[in-house]
Amino acid sequence: GGILIGTVLDYEDMFPKSKVLFVTHCTGPGPKAKRAGTYFDRDVIYCSKLVASYHKVTKGILNYVGEWHTHPSQSVKPSSLDDNSLQRVTRELGYKLETPLSIIQSNISENISYTIYFKNGKYTDNPIISDSQSFSPQLRFKLPKDMER
């Protein structure tokens, strides 16, 4: 598991009052992450520094946009713990994001789920995934070597 880095852009020229969430990077959990068969807790200090580095290198374009992790079964349905942690993100001002994305991948199958959370619920319709070649040049960059892992 780890965090998702990206940006939210207004897309009003295509769809009135719409925004598009672009995920540009998926990180690892950090060296002090805690893992068990059905539990995962990322290294908060490491991930916070990583987000700050992306934010600084891109002059504020990229930021935290969500979380990803795996499940040890074929089910990729978010657990109540998954739901609670992402709902908390929607309420905490420090995240600067009202709609975090959760990506869950099965460890034993190719099953994957995408869930976008908001203050009063969640949206589970799968988004369109694209490769980095479709990103504008401003979103393509390399993180400093000391932050890569």
Q: How confident is the model at residue 105 (pLDDT cuts 50, 70, 90)?
A: confident
Q: With a threshold of 0.85, does the pTM exceed it?
A: no
The residues near 122 (Cβ < 8 Å, ≥ 6 apart) are: 78, 83, 86, 115, 116
In the chain the first and final C-alpha atoms are separated, in Å, by: 13
Tokens 């994957």 appear where?
112
Q: What is the per-residue pLDDT across 10-38, written as a single tens digit (0 to 9) for each?
A: 776 666 667 778 888 888 899 999 988 77
pLDDT in tens, 75-85: 888 888 888 88
HEC per residue, 40-84: EECCHHHHHHHHHHHHHHCCCCCEEEEEEEEECCCCCCCCHHHHH
